[in-house]
């Protein structure tokens, strides 16, 4: 798509990366359900494997359908390139893979999805990595947590589950001072509501399973590279700055410049970790992205209406939605998420833990599932599900206390959603 940066968001979400199929003229991106791709000749094959030419080899590495999705997400986020993979969790590991090593650590926000907290406190230890958790509203504590072994700073733009909005500009300034990449999970906001790269992020990760696809059909993940970080400046990122033995001593940053991280993600990350997105999944996500702005507008409108109603209800202790004037994070919305505070938030029931369970079991329109970002409205009791592995103190810090439920507001009629919550709250509070 020529001169793509000149186009508006609504145009990019439909056209970026997409061209008519050269063989058939098909306007919609085909599902290239092929394991491998034929080389023109021996020289062509050698050039592809030497990273001297861009093309398609084997679908664990590159696939035409997935390539369109990568280009589209990169364009929407304002990045230099993107790599798609099998899930949001896979995207997080792939983002860290070129940066970390045994004995290295990352600094992570305390306000993260429970699965991410588990991944960072338990799973990454098996690689010899570690994570230190800090309240990112305390910038002095963030600075103090950084040491000589720190290799990344990680947060969410709109945190799951509470809808907390991170001051990305302030956190990015701390990362810049330390010469470290800032990785931002933008799943809950999507690039329609927030573009972290515009606020100083180095890398952006997504669970494309959520709002980008929007229909609850496939899992997927993406890593977007801003192309702005100097991987060779400090000597801390040898995977990108030093000779790579598997490619005859090629230096990714020296060779590929702004696309160094993207090429490494494909040539090393997907090659060796194998966290591949399948082409059919990419196709579903491409179709979902075509209506992203329309859906996000409705998600936000409904969330404002439902959250405002809940805040006035005497059976509710509090609502965490940043789009409410009462939220301590409301002032950040115009700067970080100018088109709205998303559609993910929590509320606390005065009836406590048991009331949360009764509420969920009494709802009719809301679906009780471990997902978010669907066109359908969803609910979950995080303390007993997604954040179950955490201690109660960790649950509270993450915004998932035992008396709290998480809502992901869909695109239905908001009055119907309110009526459903009203009847369920009556049963939960009886």
The predicted pLDDT at position 70 comes to 98
List pLDDT tens digits, range 186-203: 999 999 999 999 999 999
Stated as kind and residue range, the H or E segment containing 405 is strand 404-408
Pair 296, 269 in one domain: no
- Counting Cα atoms < 13 Å in the Cβ hemisphere of 211 gives 30
For residue 340, pLDDT over 90 is answered with yes
pLDDT at residue 386 greater than cutoff 80: no
Q: What average pLDDT does the segment 398-426 reach?
A: 94
What distances in angstroms separate CA 227 from CA 152, 179, 186, one per listed residue? Answer: 16, 15, 17
Residue 399 pLDDT more than 80? no
Q: Is residue 2 part of a domain?
A: no
Would 47 be classed as within a structural domain? yes
Domain that holds residue 211: 9-288
Please count the structural domains in the chain. 2
Per DSSP, the three-state class of 366 is coil
- For 101-130, the pLDDT digits (tens) are 999 999 999 999 988 999 999 999 999 999
- 316: pLDDT strictly greater than 60: yes
Instruction: Check pLDDT > 70 for residue 254.
Output: yes
Residue 284 located in a structural domain? yes
212 plus 319 within the same structural domain: no
349 vs 388: which has the higher pLDDT: 349
Beta-sheet strand order (sheet of 316-319): 316-319, 344-349, 404-408, 378-380, 367-368
At 206, the pLDDT band (50, 70, 90 cuts) reads very high
Task: State residue 267's pLDDT score.
Answer: 96
- Among 1-5, 10-14, 239-243, the minimum mean pLDDT is found in 1-5
342 and 308 within one domain: yes
| Domain shared by 144 and 278, yes or no | yes
Lowest mean pLDDT among 87-101, 127-141, 377-391: 377-391
pLDDT at position 1 over 70? no
| Whether residue 261 is found in the same domain as residue 123 | yes
Write the burial class of residue 280 (CB in 10 Å: 0-12 exposed, 13-18 middle, 19+ buried). Answer: middle
Q: Which of 233, 262, 288 is the last residue of a domain?
A: 288
Mean predicted lDDT score pLDDT of the chain: 95
- Give the chain's radius of gyration (CA, Å): 22
* CATH number of the domain within which 298 lies: 3.90.1150.10
Across residues 340-368, what is the average pLDDT? 95
- Is beta strand 105-109 parallel, antiparallel or unpaired with respect to 130-134? parallel
In a domain, 370, yes or no: yes
Whether 4 is in a domain gets the answer no
Does residue 197 form part of some domain?
Answer: yes
Distance CA 117, CA 54 (A): 36
Q: Which of 288, 310, 326 is the last residue of a domain?
A: 288
128 plus 245 within the same structural domain: yes
Q: How many CA atoms lie within 13 A of 246 on its CB side?
A: 11
Residues 116 and 228 in one domain: yes
Q: What is the tens place of the pLDDT at every residue in 127-181?
A: 999 999 999 999 999 999 999 999 999 999 999 988 999 999 999 999 999 999 9
Say yes or no to pLDDT of 21 above 90: no
Give the closest residue to 409 by CA, choosing from 370, 378, 381: 378
* 199 part of a folded domain: yes
Answer whether residue 273 shows pLDDT above 70. Answer: yes
Does residue 5 carry a pLDDT above 70? no
Shared-domain flag, residues 301 and 240: no
- H-type alpha helices, 2-158: 9-15, 42-49, 64-77, 88-96, 114-121, 139-145
> Which CATH number covers residue 280?
3.40.640.10
Residue 134 and residue 228 share a domain: yes
94 located within any domain? yes
pLDDT (0 to 100) of residue 2: 45
**pLDDT tens digits along 71-85:** 999 999 999 999 999
| Structure confidence at residue 191 (pLDDT) | 98
2 or 166: which carries more pLDDT confidence? 166
Is 172 found in the same domain as 36? yes
Which of 238, 273, 288 is the last residue in one of the domains? 288
Mean local confidence (pLDDT), 252-266: 97
Nearest to 20 by CA among 58, 64, 56: 64
Domain identity same for 269 and 350: no
Residues 268, 366, single domain; the answer is: no
Q: Which residues contact 316 (CB under 8 A, 6 or more apart)?
A: 310, 347, 348, 349, 350, 425
Find, among 404, 347, 342, 351, the residue nearest to 373 by Cα.
Answer: 342
């Amino acid at each position: 798509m020529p001169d793509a940066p000149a186009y508006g968001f609504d145009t990019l979400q439909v056209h970026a990366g997409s061209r008519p199929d050269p063989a058939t003229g098909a306007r919609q991106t085909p599902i290239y359900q092929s394991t491998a791709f034929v080389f023109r000749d021996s020289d062509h094959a050698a050039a592809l494997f030497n990273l001297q030419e861009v093309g398609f080899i084997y679908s664990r590495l590159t696939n035409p359908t997935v390539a369109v999705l990568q280009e589209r997400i990169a364009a929407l986020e304002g990045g230099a390139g993107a790599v798609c993979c099998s899930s949001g969790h896979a995207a997080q590991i792939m983002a860290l893979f070129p940066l970390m090593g045994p004995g290295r650590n990352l600094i992570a926000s305390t306000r993260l999805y429970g699965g991410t907290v588990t991944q960072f406190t338990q799973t990454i230890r098996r690689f010899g990595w570690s994570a230190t958790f800090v309240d990112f509203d305390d910038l002095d504590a963030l600075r103090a947590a950084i040491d000589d072994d720190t290799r990344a700073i990680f947060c969410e733009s709109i945190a799951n589950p509470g809808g907390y909005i991170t001051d990305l500009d302030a956190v990015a300034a701390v990362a810049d001072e330390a010469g470290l990449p800032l990785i931002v999970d933008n799943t809950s906001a999507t690039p329609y509501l927030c573009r972290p790269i515009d606020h100083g992020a180095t890398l952006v990760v997504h669970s494309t399973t959520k709002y980008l696809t929007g229909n609850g059909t496939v899992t997927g993940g993406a890593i977007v590279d801003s192309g702005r970080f100097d991987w060779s400046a400090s000597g801390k990122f040898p995977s990108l700055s030093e000779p790579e033995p598997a490619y005859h001593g090629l230096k990714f940053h020296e060779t590929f410049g702004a696309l160094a991280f993207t090429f490494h993600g494909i040539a090393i990350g997907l090659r060796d970790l194998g966290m591949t997105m399948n082409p059919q999944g990419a196709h579903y996500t491409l179709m979902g992205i075509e209506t992203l702005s329309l859906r996000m507008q409705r998600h936000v409108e409904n969330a404002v209406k439902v959250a405002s109603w809940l805040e006035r209800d005497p059976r509710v202790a509090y609502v965490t939605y940043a789009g409410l004037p009462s939220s301590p994070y409301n002032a950040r919305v115009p700067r970080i998420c100018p088109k709205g505070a998303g559609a993910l938030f929590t509320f606390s029931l005065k009836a406590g833990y048991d009331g949360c369970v009764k509420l969920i079991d009494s709802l009719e329109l809301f679906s009780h599932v471990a997902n978010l970002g669907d066109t359908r409205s969803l609910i979950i009791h995080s303390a007993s599900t997604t954040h179950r592995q955490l201690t109660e103190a960790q649950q509270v810090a993450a915004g998932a206390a035992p008396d709290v439920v998480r809502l992901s507001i869909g695109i239905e009629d908001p009055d119907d959603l309110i009526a459903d919550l009203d009847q369920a709250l009556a049963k939960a509070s009886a």
